[in-house]
Chains A and B, each alone.
Chain A
Amino acid sequence: MPRPFLSDALPRNVRCAHSIIANLRAFANPNRYSSALHTAPPPPLPQNGTAHPHPHPRISTVNDEEIAHFSRLSKLWWDERGEFTLLHKMNPHRMRFIREKVLEVLREDDRNDDAVALRMRDSNRLLNGLDVLDVGCGGGILSESLARLGANTLAIDASAENIHIASQHAAADPGLSSLSFRHTSAETLLQEESKKRFDIVCSMEVVEHVNNPAAFLRSCAELVKPGGHLFLSTIARTPLSYLLTIVAAEKVFRLVEPGTHTFSKFINPDELIGFFTKPLNEGGRPWISRTYAYGLPTRVEAEVRGIVYVPWRGDWVLAPRATTPLSTQANYLFWIRRPKENV
């Protein structure tokens, strides 16, 4: 058993809260509550400059079973009232979060130029000219939205079927000329000679489906330009999330195909924060320099926001910023900014 390399980095109060929750979780079998991030061994460093002919290099975080699962469902991506209803309904809220953070950083960077931020606030082309990468795009639900806001969007997925469906759907839409799809993985992209990096990297509802999430996160992070954004969304590993996403959504109400989620792969917000409080590479600078109460980072470095499905409204609600950590007990969004260089 490799040494858990994240827990030690956590502030004491977080570890304390963590252990309380861990006790609560004793109902589940032991391997359900050990973090997927913890158990992952640090990945070997990729060989520099070796572009691999195969879409997935040997060092891959792609999980073949997961790919098979989503490939099977690929035809259903754009049935807005079928298998992926919840994802479709969640999308505007994810986009709102992206909007908010991009604007916030814009204001943060240009403190003296509020006019720019104000103009952008009402803009329907907020991401104009930005290079955006959507890792694990699935049917392209998020990718299309990103492209509509003006981003030069590259959407990648490890499932060829997904890419096929996504590009077919986007091709029918004349407004998506800035969107392109590729059947590849984040690791492959990282090793390409072009060394293309992105202003925004999104990987929504993906990290709980990959092998070795730590390596996956490191790859995603590596693809972000200095000063750029990394957006993630995933599910926390709590009794509540087990009840909601596996018992309710998959088993009882069949809103989602059974087998879509694996509880042990869920990742808690504090684990993500902990991951980024350590340097990603040897000698590098951690993305989160300090944390405050409840182990929360400063809002200019990273942010965790809960997103809750309210059944009687038939819609998701993005929790306000100042809510208790309770709102992040199941689905949550995570934003982190790569530090600018030479600061």
Chain B
Amino acid sequence: MLLRGQNSSARYLLRRSQSLSRQSSHALTRLYHVTAAERAGQKECDIVIVGGGPAGLAFASALTANKALHGSVEVTLVEGGDLSKVHDWDMPPHAFSNRVVSLTNASLDFLDQIDAWQYVDAARTCPVEDMQVWDGISGSRIDFNAVSLGVGRGPGSTQMARLTETLNLQRGLLRHLSQQPNVTLLDNTKVENIFNDDIPGGGWPMVQLSTGGVLRARLLVGADGINSPVRTYSKIDTYGWDYPTRAIVATLLHPPRTFSPNTTAYQRFLPTGPIAFLPLSPTSSSLVWSTTPALATVLTKADPAILASMINAAFRLPELSVRYLHTRLLEHPSLSPDDLRAEIAFREQAHAIAPYSAHASANVNPDDVNVGIPDQGIDAVPPLVARIQPGTIASFPLRYRHAEAYIGTRTALIGDAAHIVHPLAGQGLNLGLGDAASLARCVGNAVMHGSDIGSHTTLAPYARERYFENHKMMSAVDKLHKLYASTAPPVVSARSIGLEVLNELEALKAGIVGAAGGESNPRSSPSSLWGTVTSGVETLVDGARFAKVVGSGLKSIAGGVLQQVARAAGTGPGEDRRG
């Protein structure tokens, strides 16, 4: 039931006439009501969601999954783009779109609970069973292995997260939604203006559509991205900054690995920004490389072979040589792939990297990699990139933004409209899904108790639950980025020691990963794994890294208390600001 434009007007008129006849029996007392309903071109809506991205769609899905809302809450989703393109999106099995998301186990549990996951094409998803993260300068490394740490979603599963294309997730959510009654999807419809109604005792948001209608919303949810019109209407400010980096994305093609499956995610922290290799299938993976805007421009415009060589080198060569290659390429943007290869070969020789070592890339034919017994350290680096899937190279700016509040008068912000975070931990979308789950839960509770779902009392728990939780994660990821951007020797050695100490403490690591494991706690963040890792790093920054080790022992005791305090502290910024 993908309704476009005004197809629903007949249904609406029917409903309206029914409600008018109901009102006539209360004509005396419902005087104002009838006048309000007589307004032309205006439709009364329970929930209007602006934005058909993953957060908006997931929120709509979560609402339909809640039995308490059946028959009482009508959802209208407004999207400026053409949702049928997403609904009918298709790609050959071995080609992948360049925007990829990492879904934590908690996010997967949420998608399962709302019955949306079954609509996502499972063949286009890939589990992450191992994660290798290392310091670009010192080489200090931390290895999270789902098998040895014993995490997963239920018995037999050994995944820490699951990677898939954003479009695959979005299509799944959309297919799920199109099965649901009570949901009206208005795509190709832009929001022209949002204003208050002038009914005495009202003041509800009125959403003026580009197709001519006006929606009067009991609750208006902004899932409308960084320049959220709903946020502007709610007079909520954001704070944040633009990182001096851009992220390059691309789909990488490589030969399969002989001894291990391609289920390891790699991330190397270079001073210019982290470069990440995210597995999608045995022969395809996704790149997210945040680096200087100048280099991003050169790399996205150059021959794809240059980007492939640079990716291979960036995961393998010492930082000194990676930096040299960057400078070389910036000075000579028209460098030919062969010249670059020769340059890399020379650097490898200088660093005494044997031609058949796992760290050699310049003169290795990717197709011959699997001949013979691979080098011992082969699992420490991602597979050699042979080619880049044509048309998948792109780049986008990186930002940090956090709305000063998540709720306004009858409005709530979710996803990117509320927060934008550096992608290095792959948490942006998971935070958005966490918002959707939390807000849908608040609405569900409100309906069971007959509360007005747009009221501040209903929405306040959402802000209380999410604001501080998201803020913790966002600032940890931000600090992680800044910590690894430094090349100052004391900082490098401190962070390297911290990482190595962490790596040796299997019990602590298991604890960290276990927190994000199979059991799904709806109240906790869907991103506990990275949350705990990054807050570990954050603690390091504060020079109190050992407190973390001790603290985790006490966590089970103090956790509850601290959480309460934190939640109370989170109340302030989350809900207090309003226009």
CB distance from A218 to the nearest CB of B (A): 28
A145 to B449, Cβ gap below 8 A? yes
**Pair A313/B452 contact, Cβ less than 8 Å:** no
Check: B32 CB closer than 8 A to any chain A CB. Answer: yes
A313 touches B26 (CB 8 A): no
Q: Is B122 an interface residue (CB 8 A)?
A: no
Residues of the A chain whose Cβ atoms lie less than 8 Å from the Cβ of B11: none
Cβ of B450 and Cβ of A145 under 8 Å apart? yes
Q: Which residues 58-103 of A have a CB within 8 angstroms of B? A: 78, 80-81, 88-89, 91-92, 95-96, 99
Q: How far, in angstroms, from A146 to B457 measured CA to CA in the complex?
A: 16
A174:B564 contact, CB within 8 angstroms: no
Q: Within the assembled complex, what's the spacing in Å between the Cα atoms of A92 and B446?
A: 7
A302 to B466, CA, bound (A): 39
Which residues 159-179 in A have Cβ within 8 Å of B in the complex? 165, 167-179
Question: Which residues on the B side are within 8 Å of A99 (C-beta)?
Answer: 448-449
Residues of A within 8 A of B456 (CB): 80-81, 88
B31 close to A (CB within 8 Å): yes
Q: How far is the CA of A78 from the CA of B564 in the complex (A)?
A: 29
Does A329 have its Cβ within 8 Å of any Cβ on chain B? no
* Chain A residue with Cβ nearest B33: A171
Contact among A167, A172, A173 with B29 in the assembled complex (CB-CB below 8 Å): A167
Measured CB to CB, the nearest residue on chain A to B454 is: A173
User: Distance in Å from the Cβ of B219 to the closest Cβ of chain A?
Assistant: 12
Q: Which of B12-26 contact A (CB under 8 A)?
A: 19, 22-23, 26
Alpha-carbon distance between A94 and B22 when the two chains are bound, in angstroms:
28
Q: Determine whether the beta carbon of A148 is less than 8 Å from that of B450.
A: yes
Instruction: Name the interface residues of B23-44: CB closer than 8 Å to any CB of A.
Output: 23, 26, 28-33, 36-37, 44
Do A124 and B68 touch across chains, with their CB atoms under 8 A apart? yes
Across the interface, A124 reaches (CB within 8 A) one of B23, B72, B461, B571, namely: B72
Given A92-B445, A122-B68, A180-B26, residue A174 in contact with residue B452 (CB < 8 A)? no
Complex Cα distance, B201 from A170, in Å, reads 8
One digit per residue, 1 when the CB lies within 8 angstroms of any chain B CB and 0 when it does not, for chain A 118-157 equals 0000101100000000000000000011111100000000
Contact of A181 among B29, B71, B72 (CB under 8 A): B29
Contact status B564-A313, CB under 8 Å: yes
Closest to A312 in B: B568
B455 sits at the interface (CB 8 A): yes
Is B67 located at the chain interface by the 8 A CB criterion? Answer: yes
B70 neighbours in A (Cβ, 8 Å): 124
CA distance A329 to B19 in the complex (A): 45
Separation of A174 and B564 alpha carbons in the complex (Å): 38
Q: A124-B68, A312-B568 are in contact. Are A92 and B201 (CB under 8 A)?
A: no
A174 touches B37 (CB 8 A): yes
B368-397 interface bits toward A, Cβ cutoff 8 Å, 1 = contact, 0 = none: 000000000000000000000000000000
Contact of A174 among B29, B31, B33 (CB under 8 A): B33
Determine if B30 and A92 form an interchain contact, defined as CB atoms under 8 angstroms apart.
no
B2 at the interface (CB under 8 A from A): no
CB neighbours of A149 from chain B (8 A)? 450
Chain A hits for B28, CB < 8 A: 180
Which of A78, A88, A146, A177 meets B30, CB within 8 Å? A177
How many A-B pairs have beta carbons closer than 8 Å: the answer is: 105
A170 to B445, CA, bound (A): 21
In the complex, A87 Cα to B452 Cα: how many Å? 14
Contacting residues, chain A, for B571 (C-beta < 8 A): 314
Partner of A177, one of B19, B31, B203, B455: B19
Closest Cβ of chain A: how far from B259's Cβ, in Å? Answer: 52
Is A171 a contact partner of B36 (Cβ separation < 8 A)?
Answer: yes
User: A125 to chain B: which residues have CB within 8 Å?
Assistant: 71-72
Give the CA-CA distance A80 to B446 in the complex, in Å: 15
B450 and A172 contacting across the interface, CB-CB below 8 Å:
no
| Bound CA–CA A41/B329 (angstroms) | 97
Would B71 and A314 count as touching, CB distance under 8 A?
A: no
Report B-chain residues with C-beta under 8 Å of the C-beta of A313: 564, 567-568
A88 near B450 with CB under 8 A, answer no
Q: Which residues from A are CB-within-8-Å of B564?
A: 312-313
Contact residues in B for A144 (Cβ distance below 8 Å): 450, 452
Q: Which residues of A contact B92 (CB under 8 A)?
A: none
Contact between chains at B464 and A177 (CB < 8 Å) = no
Instruction: Determine whether B199 belongs to the interface, using a CB cutoff of 8 Å to chain A.
Output: yes
B156: Cβ under 8 A from any A Cβ: no
Judge whether A78 and B447 touch: CB under 8 Å: no
Is residue B96 within 8 Å, beta carbon to beta carbon, of the partner chain? no
Nearest-CB residue, chain B, relative to A142: B450
Most A C-beta atoms less than 10 A away, residue of B30, B199, B447, B565: B30
Bound complex: CA of A174 vs CA of B26, how far in Å?
13
User: Chain B 562-574 against A: per-residue CB contact (8 Å), 1 yes, 0 no?
Assistant: 0011011001000
Q: Which chain B residues border A96 with CB–CB below 8 Å? A: 449
Chain B contacts for A177, CB-based, 8 A: 19, 22-23, 26, 30, 33
For the complex, give the distance between the alpha carbons of A231 and B46 in Å. 29
Q: In the docked arrangement, what's the CA distance between A170 and B202, Å?
A: 9
Closest to A88 in B: B457
Residues of B within 8 A of A181 (CB): 29
Interchain CA distance A1-B202 in the complex, whole Å? 51
B457-500 contact mask (Cβ, 8 Å, vs A): 1 or 0 = 10011001000000000000000000000000000000000000
Interface residues in B196-247 (C-beta closer than 8 Å to A):
197, 199-204, 218
Q: Tell me the nearest residue of chain A to B34, going by C-beta.
A: A171
Cβ of B451 < 8 Å from any Cβ of A? yes
Q: Give the distance in Å from the alpha carbon of A99 to the alpha carbon of B564 in the complex.
A: 28
CA distance A282 to B522 in the complex (A): 55
A314 to B449, CA, bound (A): 18
Q: What is the distance, in angstroms, from A319's C-beta to the closest C-beta of chain B?
A: 17
Residue in chain B with minimal CB distance to A143: B450
- Contacting residues, chain A, for B565 (C-beta < 8 A): 312
Q: How far apart are B410's CB and chain A's nearest CB, in angstroms? A: 11
Cα distance A176–B36 when bound, in Å? 13
Q: How far is the CA of A256 from the CA of B460 in the complex (A)?
A: 20
Name the residue among B449, B457, B565 with the largest chain A CB count within 10 angstroms.
B449
Most chain A C-beta atoms within 10 Å of own C-beta, residue among B23, B33, B452, B464: B452
Let me know if B69 is at the binding interface, CB within 8 A.
yes
Decide if A168 touches B451 in the complex (CB within 8 Å): no
- Flag if A92 contacts B457 (CB, 8 Å): yes
Q: Which residues of B contact A315 (CB under 8 A)?
A: 461
With A and B bound together, what is the CA distance between A148 and B36 in angstroms? 19
Give A158 to B71 CA distance when docked, in angstroms.
Answer: 35
Report whether B449 and A95 are in contact in the complex, using a CB–CB cutoff of 8 Å: yes
Contact pattern, A 172-209, Cβ under 8 Å of B = 1, otherwise 0:
11111111110000000000000000000000000000
Tell me whether A172 and B26 are in contact (CB under 8 A).
Answer: no
Least CB distance from A63 to B in Å reads 26
The answer to whether A89 touches B457, judged by C-beta atoms less than 8 angstroms apart, is yes
Report A-chain residues with C-beta under 8 Å of the C-beta of B204.
172
A213–B19 Cα gap in the complex (Å)? Answer: 40
Q: Are A80 and B455 in contact (CB under 8 A)?
A: yes
A171 touches B31 (CB 8 A): yes
Q: Closest B residue to A127 by CB, please name it.
A: B450
Residue of B nearest to A174 (CB): B44
A91 near B451 (CB under 8 angstroms)? yes
The docked-state distance in angstroms from the alpha carbon of A145 to that of B200 is 20
Assess the A172–B19 pair: CB atoms within 8 A.
Answer: no
The chain B residue sitting closest to A94, CB to CB, is B449
Alpha-carbon separation in the docked complex, A92 to B456 (Å): 12
Closest Cβ of chain B to A8, distance in Å, is 40
Among A91, A92, A180: residue with most chain B CB under 10 A: A92
Contacts of A122 in B (CB 8 A): 67-68
Q: Beyond A180-B28, A315-B461, list 10 extra A-B contacts (CB 8 Å).
A: A88-B456, A91-B457, A92-B446, A124-B448, A169-B201, A171-B36, A172-B201, A172-B203, A174-B44, A313-B564
Q: Please list the 10 inter-chain residue pairs (A to B) with the smallest Cβ-Cβ separation, ordered nearest first.
A: A171-B32, A172-B202, A145-B450, A168-B201, A148-B450, A180-B29, A95-B449, A169-B201, A80-B456, A149-B450
- Can you give 11 contacting A-B residue pairs, CB < 8 Å? A81-B456, A91-B449, A92-B446, A96-B449, A124-B72, A145-B449, A172-B200, A175-B46, A177-B30, A177-B33, A180-B26
